[in-house]
Structure 1
Amino acid sequence: MTDWPPADPTDATAIADERDKWVAAVRDHAGQIAYQLARLEGGDYGQRAVETDRGEWTVKYEAGDLEYLRFDPSRGDAVYVVSTKQPPEPGPLAEALADYDAFVAGFNDYVDSLDGLYDDIPTSFPDVAPTDGIVAERDRILGEVREVCDRIAAELHRYEGGDYGSYATRVADDRWELKWEADRASYLRVGGSNGLYLLSQYQPPAAADIREYAPQFREFVGAYNDHVAELEADLEPIEL
């Protein structure tokens, strides 16, 4: 049996400190690459791989900051030179650092390859066609629909009482529903709960939808008038 206690373990503090110094330096430098990538690719998140003779580097960024830098050597296991987890082992780190200059050169070559990318793009563009006419026509049609729906809402409010109500009928196999509040129409919807709002308190429908359903609005009004006529027929004269 050998003498006890054995020799003290070698102090690894110096090597660990040296490793941490290199990792910090690479983090600062590769962080500039991450920032440039974020600007170039126009997003908060992304990554790019750069190939070298010895392997492949992957730089990933988040919100413009370096998230990790990984080196995949042609032989051997990948090493995260910079990451949010534990630092790399000294041996794999040294192997990666030996190729770091090639990684930076590869990234610079990528950026240089984009130089002149926009040279042949014209700086003048065709005039944009105004939409004033079609918007005015849309607003005119919807304004007339709104006026009629408000009149219907006022009549239903007067007849049924209460502050809220609705009238629904079918036109061309579609369910049309007019929802009213007091004497004003809240919405006119075509096609059930997931249908198209021909009138609403939000944005107007698309031009194609107005083109399809506005002509059918006359049938909706006709159905309402028939509904009123039926109600009037139910009111028989009363003799005292």
Structure 2
Amino acid sequence: MSDKRKPEQSTSKYQPRATSSRTTYILAGAAVAVIVALVIGGIVWNSQRDTGGVDEAVLSENAALIIGAPSAPQTIDVFEDFMCPVCQEFEQQSGGSITKAIDEGTLRVRYHMLTFLDDQSSSGDYSSRAAGAAQCVGAGEDKEVFLKFHSALFADQPKEGGSTDLSNADLARIAGEQGASPATQKCVADGAKVAEAKDAADQSTTQLSKATDGQVATPTVLSGGAPVDGIMNGTGWLDDLLAEKG
């Protein structure tokens, strides 16, 4: 259970229409309302404006899992949605380097799983159920199992706008294949942490909105409460962050 924080969860109710599977999903808004505004150049813009400083305590409390030594010189917040195809690309490009830096003690990661692409799944709630499954694994297993489960869900990602997605039983099976215990698998199969994950994602989304002047996108990485540029251009972004603290 190394580096696991029990109060750390994530997921949300924001459901903008999605665009092409190779774009970054962006949401913006006013107060609590979620409004699909318009599609410009393949990017979906909504509105959820919430400016002001990022609250580090809220980011910590609402992460699905915090992984890495507390003494690590660099901490980042990673915001993803399990239905987001660009998040899958991000995991393929940077997941291995992130894990390596965690293992070397140079990086601490707070994972935030959002759910605004629920309506792009066949079941209508896949993002939320997958985020709840991640909460179960994060609460019940060590970092290695969580990271393997996280990667496995992106590897087995349902097609955006497709006719099928993964059931809770499928998610539980995948968790078991990554080493999750029977108790954790039952938590996933029962959807026991879906509501908790949604509540946490709401909080994480609010903090991300504050960091980005109201534009919430997945994938996004924050460092020191500010967005990191170039995260879809290989792993140079991570090399630069680690060099700053080296």
Q: Which has the higher strand share?
A: 1
TM-score normalised by the chain length of structure 1: 0.20
TM-score normalised by the chain length of structure 2: 0.20
